[in-house]
């Protein structure tokens, strides 16, 4: 199983916090991430990752979202500005797990 994933996802704004923006990691990839990192994550299940969107790369974490049934990936303002992306846009995500079982 690879520790690197590429997928397209729509950028959305978290309704409870208007300044936070995320993409949802597709369920099959979320399920694989959960299986590969189970027991390696801190209390609430965040998973350290490195991400690339266009020419922007950074380290962050994905977080489990029980409402959506998947992990969610925060996209910071500097990346949104640099890449010209806004809520509703489809974004190509390159995601690598920092800690995972083979």
- Which tens digit of pLDDT belongs to each residue from 54-85? 999 999 999 999 999 999 999 999 999 999 99
| Region for 88 from its dihedrals, namely left if φ exceeds 0, alpha if ψ lies in -120 to 50, beta otherwise | left
Domain coordinates of the chain in residue numbers?
4-97
Domain range 4-97, CATH class: mainly beta
- What is this structure's pTM? 0.90
| Alpha-carbon span 79 to 73, nearest angstrom | 13
Residues 6+ apart with CB under 8 A from 47: 33, 37, 40, 41, 61, 62, 71, 97, 98, 99
Tokens of 64: 């489990």
- Which tens digit of pLDDT belongs to each residue from 38-52? 877 776 789 999 999
């Amino acid at each position: 199983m690879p520790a690197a994933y590429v997928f397209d996802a729509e950028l959305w704004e978290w309704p409870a916090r208007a300044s936070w923006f995320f993409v949802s990691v597709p369920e099959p990839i979320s399920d694989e991430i959960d299986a590969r990192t189970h027991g390696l994550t801190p209390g609430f299940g965040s998973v350290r990752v490195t991400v690339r969107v266009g020419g922007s790369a950074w380290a962050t974490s994905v977080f489990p979202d029980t409402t959506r049934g998947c992990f969610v990936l925060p996209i910071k303002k500097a990346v949104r500005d640099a890449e010209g992306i806004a809520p509703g846009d489809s974004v190509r995500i390159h995601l690598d797990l920092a800690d995972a079982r083979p």
